Amino acid sequence: MQRFRFAHLSDPHLPLEPDRLRGRGLLSKQLLSYLSWRRKRRHHHRPDVLAALVADIHAHAPDHVAVTGDIANISLPGEFTRGREWLESVGLPGQVSYIPGNHDAMVTVPFGQGLGLWRDYMEGDVVAAPGSSLPDGLFPYVRRRGPVAFIGLNSGLPTLPLLATGRLGTAQVEALGDILSDLGRQGLFRVVMVHHPVADGVVKPRKGLTDRARLRAVLARHGAEMLLHGHAHRASLSTIAGPSGIIPCLTVPSASCGGLGKDEAAKWNLVTVMREADGWRVQVDIRGYDRREGIIPTGGYTLLVPFPTV
């Protein structure tokens, strides 16, 4: 039986320090998020928790690691530099697949000083043209690893204050349909990665994916075996319609959250994909942070996913 194991974590939110907001940033959306970080969020997102979670992933030696956005907090240049260092601590570019979150795109940052520093963690097997200067030139990307194909989408974009919405846009959604059909014909386990939730009701409207109905229509027509997202800062398993049955949508809490107050402590999923005679058996083992014991098993479940109807 062929097995493939991958880790899913999300929303690491590295420490903002030593960066400080200055100049024009004091007049932008960044100011509210900066004040939120200084007043509250820096106490919730702990580097020691994130380090313990990454060490636990390394101890389990998965075949691949999927990270669904929000390394940054307010898109300051220093966050992208430290984000690069953090990604390298997780694994090599070919071993780690990343997609941007809304905090990675809070304001417009020149590509070479921002997301471009993470480019090789977001490139597919077919590398985008060297002249591509915008993130949209990289997405959707496809990374084929064993029986699994990871398809990365970019839903992060600058928004008005007090909004954390995302949008894919026509080009990404239309390209996704052809990609899914082609990978389905190849018999691969298709994992779609997008930062914002796709099912309704997972987050409040001001945090939602504005064109999720259009994305759901493409998935309902062309299919996928799994969808991974972040953004919700809590563990959940939701579903959307696919052509052969439901598509499971998985997420986890912030990978750096210590569980202060009502916040759900950090978790990651170890997903084992096994091909069987009539479909896929997927084992999801959940591991999470405990204040006394560190990272421990916290649950799990099995999914039976049918092969796509040709």
**Which pLDDT does position 27 carry in this prediction?**
45
Average pLDDT over residues 108-130: 88
- Residue holding tokens 């949508």? 249
Q: CB atoms < 10 A from the CB of 21, how many?
A: 18
What does the CA dihedral 68, 72, 77, 81 come to, rounded to 10 degrees?
A: -70
Average pLDDT over residues 245-266: 96
Average pLDDT over residues 162-171: 95
Asked if residue 32 lies in contact with residue 161, where contact means CB atoms within 8 angstroms, the answer is yes
Average pLDDT over residues 270-283: 96
> Does 267 have pLDDT greater than 90?
yes
Lowest mean pLDDT among 5-9, 15-19, 214-218: 15-19
DSSP code for 291: T
Q: Identify the three-state secondary structure at position 221.
A: helix
Residues 184-194: tens digit of each pLDDT: 999 999 999 99
Task: Give the helix, strand, coil percentages of the chain, each rounded to 5.
Answer: 30, 25, 40
Residues 61-85: tens digit of each pLDDT: 999 999 999 999 999 999 999 999 9
Percent over 70 (pLDDT), the chain: 93
If one compares 23 and 179, the residue with the highest pLDDT of the two is 179
In degrees rounded to 5, what are phi and psi of residue 66? -110, 125
Alpha-carbon gap, residue 225 to 148, rounded angstroms: 10
Per-residue pLDDT band at 296 (split at 50, 70, 90)? very high
Number of domains the chain contains: 1
CATH number of the domain where residue 260 is located: 3.60.21.10
Q: CB atoms < 10 A from the CB of 187, how many?
A: 11
Lowest mean pLDDT among 38-47, 130-139, 209-218, 276-285: 130-139
Alpha-carbon gap, residue 229 to 152, rounded angstroms: 10
DSSP code for 203: S
Range of the domain at 160: 3-306
Residues 9-38: tens digit of each pLDDT: 999 999 987 776 665 554 468 888 888 888
> Does 294 have pLDDT greater than 80?
yes
Average pLDDT over residues 285-290: 98
Average pLDDT over residues 237-259: 97
Smallest CA-to-CA distance from 232 within 261, 271, 263, 275 is with 263
